[in-house]
């Protein structure tokens, strides 16, 4: 990634907390902006077009009759996000989506597949997010978004984006996993999705893991989307997340991952999600998010 490849960046905020059923993460887009996102990208030579935030209708409680919490409003917001992401691409801008909880990946990926039917995805996360209504212990849709993008789950969610084709399992790589539900483990094995847990990262090193992940999701695809959940990092580095899991990635490992993705020249879109300022310390997690974004877009030490 460099300003010659994509000189214009469209920043789209999605203040969604319904997928996590926990307040605070809806303030994530504002926290990331306040941490200096636009200034940092402008210093790298990009033209930043902040398209503001999508509207999310607040709902006081989850509907008890439906196991999937807030599913109708989540589907509605993701359908709007799908249209916004597609419009950004049509305008020649790189879509950079700020969450919000990880359920927003449903709309981002649907919008990207309108222009990139064969899309590669690197899912940077401590969780697999491949639950369905049948396997989810909570009913929280932020833990189902990758399954939905692969074509599995409630029709109200898989229908987002209309005729856009589902992701292919061989075009997906998960990096940093360390908390998987039993149903997710079965799903990942059945689908043959490439998963690099912290065990592989510790043994092989981040450089080798990212090289393998990039190679895998580049085969037969027209570009790579990065979906980065800040809980992929260790809570000591990124405390402001709703579902922290100890034993995660260091800042330096994460910066290296972004740098290698940048150097690949294959990136076509990205989203950064699950920053929860209520749980953060002095906006530390949002600042880390901005630094990771800067590394993704070409910032280097020297």
Please state the domain extents for the chain: 8-297
Cβ pair 25, 99 in contact under 8 A:
yes
Q: What's the pLDDT tens digit per position in 17-29? A: 999 999 999 999 9
Query: Is 102 a known ligand-binding residue?
Result: yes
Q: What's the pLDDT tens digit per position in 249-294? A: 999 999 999 999 999 999 999 999 999 999 999 999 999 999 999 9
Query: Is 231 a known ligand-binding residue?
Result: yes
Q: What's the pLDDT tens digit per position in 175-194? A: 999 999 999 999 999 999 99
Q: What is d(CA 248, CA 198) in angstroms, rounded to the nearest whole number? A: 7
Torsion of CA 9, 10, 13, 18, to 10 degrees: -100
Q: What is d(CA 264, CA 132) in angstroms, rounded to the nearest whole number? A: 33
Q: What is d(CA 44, CA 78) in angstroms, rounded to the nearest whole number? A: 30
Q: What's the pLDDT tens digit per position in 38-48? A: 999 999 999 99
Element (H, E) at 96: strand 94-99
Answer whether CATH 3.40.800.10 is correct for domain 8-297: yes
Query: Is 280 a known ligand-binding residue?
Result: no
Q: Catalytic amino acids?
A: 102, 125, 127, 129, 142, 229, 231, 274
Question: Which pTM was predicted?
Answer: 0.97
pLDDT of residue 66: 75
Between β-strands 94-99 and 267-273, what pairing exists: parallel, antiparallel or unpaired?
A: parallel
pLDDT of residue 274: 98
Query: Is 171 a known ligand-binding residue?
Result: no
Alpha carbon 46 to chain centroid, angstroms: 21
């Amino acid at each position: 990634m460099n300003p010659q490849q994509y000189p214009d960046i469209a920043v789209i905020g999605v203040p969604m907390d319904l997928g996590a059923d926990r307040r605070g993460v809806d303030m994530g887009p504002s926290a990331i902006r306040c941490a200096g996102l636009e200034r940092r990208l402008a210093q790298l030579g990009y033209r930043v077009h902040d398209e503001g935030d999508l509207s999310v209708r607040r709902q006081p409680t989850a509907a008890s009759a439906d196991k999937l919490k807030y599913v109708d409003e989540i589907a509605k917001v993701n359908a709007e996000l799908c249209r916004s992401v597609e419009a950004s691409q049509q305008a020649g801008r790189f879509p950079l989506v700020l969450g919000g909880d990880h359920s927003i990946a449903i709309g981002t990926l649907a919008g990207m597949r309108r222009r990139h039917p064969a899309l590669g995805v690197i899912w940077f996360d401590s969780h697999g997010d491949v639950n369905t209504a049948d396997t989810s212990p909570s009913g929280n849709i932020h833990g189902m978004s990758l399954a939905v993008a692969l074509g599995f789950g409630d029709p109200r969610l898989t229908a987002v984006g209309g005729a856009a084709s589902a992701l292919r399992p061989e075009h997906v790589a998960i990096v940093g996993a360390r908390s998987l539900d039993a149903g997710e483990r079965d799903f990942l094995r059945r689908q043959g999705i490439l998963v690099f847990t912290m065990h592989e990262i510790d043994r092989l090193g981040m450089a080798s893991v990212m090289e393998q992940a990039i190679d895998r999701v580049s085969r037969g695809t027209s570009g790579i989307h990065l979906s980065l959940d800040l809980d992929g990092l260790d809570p000591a580095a990124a405390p402001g997340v709703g579902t922290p899991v100890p034993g995660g990635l260091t800042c330096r490992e994460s910066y290296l991952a972004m740098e290698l993705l940048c150097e690949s020249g294959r990136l076509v879109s990205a989203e950064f999600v699950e920053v929860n300022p209520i749980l953060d310390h002095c906006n530390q997690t949002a600042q880390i998010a901005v630094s990771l974004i800067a590394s993704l877009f070409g910032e280097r030490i020297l």
